[in-house]
Amino acid sequence: MKKLNKPVVMLAAWALVFGLAACGNAAEPEVGQADHPTVDPSGAEIIIPDRIDSIAVLAPSLTEMVTALGHGNQIVAYDTYSVGLEGIPDDVPVLDTGSPDMEQLLALTPDVLFVSNLSLYDQESPYQQLIDNGVCVVCVPTSDSIADIQSDIAFVAAVLGETEQGEKLIEDMQAAIDRIAKIGATITEKKTVYFEISAAPYMYSFGTDVFLNELIELIGAENILADQSGWLSVGEESVVAANPDVILTNVNYIDNPVQEIKDRSGWDALTAVQDGAVYCIDNNASSLPNQNVVKALKQMAEAVYPEYYGE
């Protein structure tokens, strides 16, 4: 899989900062009969078409869900951040994530358009023209927990008529989580971890209420920023003061993020740097809230506790 052209995780942070304005208020997703009203995860009422032949997607996390459910060949347009993801056509329009060309979307008239709160967050009803022209616009806001990610998979699967395949994705995902969590629960001497999602000088990370923090806890480690909540701008002094045992980074927009961390002034005294415990984690797997977060979970487990999780 090719890496994305820009640090996708910053989009996730941006989305959480601005909230769910483009999608409405979150609600427990419900799926009704085809061609009957139902409620999407944003709380908006939608009508799922009886037959789906064409799909547009404006969020890479949802693109990976659609392809995993076997509908990649039906994608007629996708967003710039989905470029390079596996299972999508090469010869279809690529749309701007934050401000897609509505005329182009209208010309395509997909049966379903999947969006998240990454697109047109500052407009009240940005897709009304599409809806008026018969497009089923499904909004799946960025999820911040593993349980919510699994709920999103189930909903997208139901929309596409792939309930059984969605259940299989969730079962496989949960089985992978359970295998690691079982080992993580036995670890009593927990290592401390700093996970960087944007490099200096604009360092960014997260506290609780973010699925990446759940992944750290599942492997049996502790996030040095767990006393805070959400996506966070981080000062170098706070990391130095916490002196983490391990540093993880999913930064993919500089050539060697691990070396950049090791070369920072004053960081040579950190335990993680002295022990060579600075590691890269796959950007896509750790940035996109979908079934592939288990890939990041496995990488994190093997990096932090090779003696427990190594082959």
Residue 195's beta-bridge partner residues? 248
pTM summary value? 0.89
Dihedral pair phi/psi, residue 57, rounded to 5°: -135, 135
Whether the link from the prior residue into 41 is cis, omega within 30° of 0, is no
Per-residue pLDDT tens over the stretch 52-77: 999 999 999 999 999 999 999 999 99
Which pLDDT band holds residue 240 (cuts at 50, 70, 90)? Answer: very high
Q: Given this model, what pLDDT does residue 9 score?
A: 44
Encoded amino acid at 6, one letter: K
Q: Is 72 helix (H, G, I), strand (E, B) or coil?
A: helix
At 282, list the tokens. Answer: 């796959």
In b/e form, how buried is each residue of 193-222, taking b as 16+ CB within 10 angstroms? bbbbbbbbeebbbbbeebbbbbbbbbbbbe
288/43 Cα distance (integer angstroms): 22
Greater confidence (20 vs 231) lies with: 231
